[in-house]
Structure 1
């Protein structure tokens, strides 16, 4: 018996068959796993695509989100009941929030996004055979996929200026100085330019033709360097296309004639950002309007065209108490990557340019203080309008509403002496010393210094209805009526010093006389300043904003 067993153990015949049978089972297991894993990944990708499409459908129709998601799943080869949960909510595209915190579940008018979860099973292929051979069940794998989509609502919005009736040719002098020419447009011309609205997509098409730009897209037109004269003519063409009044069209023609063959060239990237539509072909239609008043367009182009960004201008004024007024203006760059007009989604923003003004006024007094020279320096930071929300009614764009968060500029106002070097250097903030406001032939001098600041640290919500969007109504956001109190606040902070023969000896009553002249000029100066700032499109402690177009419908994947 023992010998037979040893013989059996020593017999090697058929060993390869046994090894092959054992390894075949292992190899078949690995092969089954490879095939089934590949199949599972394929099915998961297929199901994820269906889930993405279901989320897009749900976000585009929030009020019927569940039905929209299930219908989408059916169209893409999955049973409707594969859609497990559909949650409406609010998506906030704020980079300051963690990605997981940007979607908040909740229904209601503010809901603009949907989260969809799909559950399905996929059977094993070769793994089923292996499981059966081992006496197990056939086997299926559950697949769960999820997607979040938000409505792709967009709006065209801007921050900028208003028209004021400026007498005495101040607007002609200002725009003419910025454009390097002499203008003689009437107040009626300017009012016509303010009423005429120009669609910027139409304007870009016309500019490409006028300037012979070999551009295919709207963005390429904005990047091109074009003559300021071509900009005016393209604005005139676009105004005609849109049926603008004859007064505006004629005013643009006179402005073009005044510019003649000016060689000034600019690009308009700081004027407008077309957002996702910038890459569209010029021949394509765009589903919303982005517009500017013709006067705003020309004023913005004039500021961009002024290469030195400084302007010295004598203003002809006929105001009691003011003998002469001169203006020095410096315009800084807008914050990098920003523009006056923008097409974008919630979270996009527009900015005004930082601006500096130095008004030198000669005030009429009496006696020893018969002529007082008052340098008034104003520095305005950039005001901002941020697109905070777009509310779209299901299938009804007329119920849409756009909300901007507007922050007026911080303003510093000084009575003081600012050097030319300081005035043009936007990298530092001037801190002007006292200015000589009265010089009695070198025998006596009166020096004055004052400073007030106005700021607004938080956004103000400004809402626009669809009707207001269609009219492109401008709304003003104010911290307070700063202009009306500017001089009185500066006079209240006024520090006067009288110097006699350079010795600092006082002259009785002279400081009081100078203070009285400055205080008495408050009302006429407020009048001049208000008109001048309105001409420049500036409001102290104010910001004007408007929305000119809105697009509802469609959705984009968020996660």
Structure 2
């Protein structure tokens, strides 16, 4: 019997084969080769993507900074920057203009306002957001087609540039005389309810120097315990002593600091000053206190006298001053009977970009009692004739319309600030004012509002009523330029700079002369005769009485205008920071912004 050997042959063949490991990698490579190639490709192309994304982001940041330097040419400047950094300008996907909101309460993405509605600024662009994109360099991952996990390169960047200026408004450079110092002490002392004792040297020190605005706000915040924003600080009501002490600590000039400290000791903290409306803060508004003096913040000043005068006025409405100020001439007297200021619709000091930085003086109403002694009528001596004279002065105002920053190394020297300024309408009246005319809010007056007032009553037989309205002096307006070639120069903390004025030529003398002259008109003096008399006799007596009064009242008042009333009113207005018929502006500082990524 023959046995089959096939199983023996199979076992002999398989035994060495099963123990052989020399070709084990080949199947693994065959199975995992695609995975290994994919991993290597992803590592290579992923590294290239990371480097490309980083470089594109850096180039996009640079392009945004270049565009923000001049938003009007944003697209062209962005393409030029990309080209200079080795990129095809065609990678620029979009250029978006907007405003940057300097608000610590907003997230980074929210601070760019493309709608131009969330941030103040009157629609002026100060920020640019750009987006770029391009395909990524790929060597191996492209074979995956739609399954390729690496997207195209893309980047976005937002940059802002904020040019700022500080402005103030006042009566300008005043000549400090004894009469002006007396008006300052009498008028501001009356508003404070104290006896103010400033010398001519004190007033000069205040008028000639600025305090550093940033240091002042920070010092005031520390004194009143404000740890929030500058906007929260200026929404407070503070004591005048705290305000003056903070100003003293921020004054560069030692004489100014000493005078402010002297004032702080005199006034006490009983006089409350509402800061709301006194300062316009611009981009400082939402900044936390403590940062206004840090670079590159605006360094601007606040005139020390203006700060004191406006702070005093901000704390009061109408004040009876009949016993506070008087000027006496032979046979006559002039008293300031009352003063009223209108509500503040613009700040007195403002800091910020063009288009949103404005200031104004107070709208003022002064009521004078002009007394004429030794007047006789129809042979009957009159002790005194009192005429109520009212001077109505609309607010002067100014707004920064442009900040021109040249592309030069000497920006601080060559920068120009343009302010659109306007002086206020001026009216004068003799007569009775409507109710509430000397209280806040101050209503505007027209000729129809002024009624005749009785100035003479002789034994109930002869009465004389008076009413007169001067022709209004219209305000003037125009552009004032501060900087090279302009009417004024730009100041800085410690130095007020040179102011510039725009005026309509209004002066107290001509204005009141026109007013007094109108008393001689048909409706100026109304004489009434009581009792019975023939019409012809009454008419003749009335004409005689009007003639006598015209010479006995009008002539002395006309003489008082140039010698007593004119300088009195001029000094009173100057003490309040107002020059009749003029708008005097100060550029207290300027900063050309540096584009920054936001």
The answer as to 2:530 corresponding to 1:501 is: yes
2:511 pairs with 1:486: yes
Residue of structure 2 aligned with 1:515, choices 521, 542, 554:
554
- Tell me how far 1:182 sits from its aligned partner: 1.4
* Shift in CA distance, 142/410, structure 1 to aligned 2, threshold 3 Å: farther
Q: 2:588 aligns with which of 545, 548, 554?
A: 548
What are the ranges of 5 or more consecutive residues in structure 1 without an aligned counterpart? 1-42, 92-98, 101-111, 133-140
Q: Distance in 1 between matches of 2:72 and 2:436?
A: 60
In 2: Cα distance, 1:244 partner to 1:80 partner: 59
Task: Point out where structure 2 has 5 or more consecutive residues left out of the alignment.
Answer: 1-51, 100-114, 117-124, 533-537
Per the alignment, do residues 215 and 530 of structure 1 end up closer, same or farther by CA in structure 2, a change over 3 Å counting?
Answer: same
Aligned equivalent of 1:527, options 547, 564, 567: 567
**Aligned-pair distance for 1:480?**
1.7
- Indicate how the Cα distance of structure 1 residues 266 and 535 shifts in structure 2: closer, same or farther if over 3 A, else same: closer
Shift of residue 358, structure 1, vs aligned partner: 0.8
Structure 2 contact 237–272 (Cα < 8 Å) conserved: yes
Shift of 1:271: 1.7
Tell me what 2:163 maps to. 153
Number of corresponding residues:
482
- The within-5 A match list for 1:171-186 is 171-186=184-199
What secondary structure sits across from 2:567 in the alignment?
A: helix
Q: CA deviation at 1:166?
A: 5.5
Q: Within 5 Å, which residues of 2 pair with 1:291-310?
A: 291-306=301-316, 308-310=317-319
Structure 2 length as normaliser, TM-score? 0.68
Query: Which among 429, 449, 462 is matched to residue 414 of structure 1?
Result: 429
> Post-superposition shift, 1:532?
1.7
Shift of 1:544: 1.5
Q: Does 1:342 align with 2:350?
A: yes
CA–CA separation in structure 1 for the residues paired with 2:306 and 2:289: 23
Helix, strand or coil for the counterpart of 1:454?
Answer: coil
Distance of aligned partners of 1:311 and 1:164 in 2 relative to their CA distance in 1, 3 Å threshold = farther
Q: Which residue, out of 330, 343, 357, partners 2:340?
A: 330
What SS is found at the alignment partner of 1:325? strand
Is residue 432 of structure 1 aligned with residue 417 of structure 2? no
CA distance in 1, matches of 2:202, 2:127: 51
d(CA) in 2 for partners of 1:64, 1:433: 60
Deviations 1:336-355 (A, max 9, x none): xx311111111122222322
Residue 444 of structure 1 corresponds to which residue in structure 2?
462
Give the whole-Å Cα distance in 2 for the aligned partners of 1:481 and 1:428.
22
Q: Offset at 1:188? A: 2.4
The alpha-carbon deviation at position 404 of structure 1 amounts to: 0.3
Deviation at 1:72?
A: 4.6
Q: Is the Cα–Cα contact under 8 Å of residues 380 and 411 in structure 1 kept in the other structure?
A: yes
2:9 alignment partner in structure 1: none
Query: In terms of mean alpha carbon deviation, does 501-510 or 357-366 score higher?
Result: 501-510
The aligned residue for residue 207 of structure 2 is 194
Are 1:274 and 2:252 counterparts? no
Mapped partners of 2:531, 2:469: distance in 1:
25
* d(CA) in 1 for partners of 2:355, 2:241: 35
SS at match of 2:198: coil
Residues 252 and 383 of structure 1: CA distance in aligned 2, closer, same or farther (over 3 Å): same
SS in 2 for 1:518: helix
Query: Higher strand proportion, which one?
Result: 1
Task: Identify the residue that residue 354 of structure 1 maps to in structure 2.
Answer: 363
User: What whole-Å deviation, never above 9, does each CA across 1:237-272 have from its counterpart, x for those lacking one?
Assistant: 222xx1332xx3443333233224x43333323221
Over the residues paired in the alignment, what is the CA RMSD in angstroms? Answer: 4.5
Aligned residue number for residue 136 of structure 1: none
Q: Is the 8 A contact 2:516 2:554 kept in 1?
A: yes
Cα distance in 1 between the residues matched to 2:245 and 2:531: 58
* Structure 1 stretch displaced more, 467-476 or 364-373: 364-373
Deviations 1:349-388 (A, max 9, x none): 2222322211112134654477332211122223221111
Structure 1 segment 47-446 matched on structure 2, within 5 A: 54-60=63-69, 69=78, 72-73=81-82, 79-82=87-90, 122=135, 151-162=161-172, 163-165=174-176, 167=178, 169-211=182-224, 213-239=225-251, 242-245=252-255, 248-260=256-268, 262-284=269-291, 285-286=293-294, 287-306=297-316, 308-313=317-322, 314-320=324-330, 322-335=332-345, 338-348=346-356, 349-364=358-373, 366-368=375-377, 371-394=384-407, 395-397=409-411, 398-418=413-433, 421-424=436-439, 426=441, 428-430=443-445, 431-446=449-464
1:473 aligns with 2:495: no
Contact 1:165 1:187 in 2 (8 A): yes
SS at match of 1:373: strand
* Superposed CA offset, 1:224-247 (max 9, x none): 3321121122222222xx1332xx
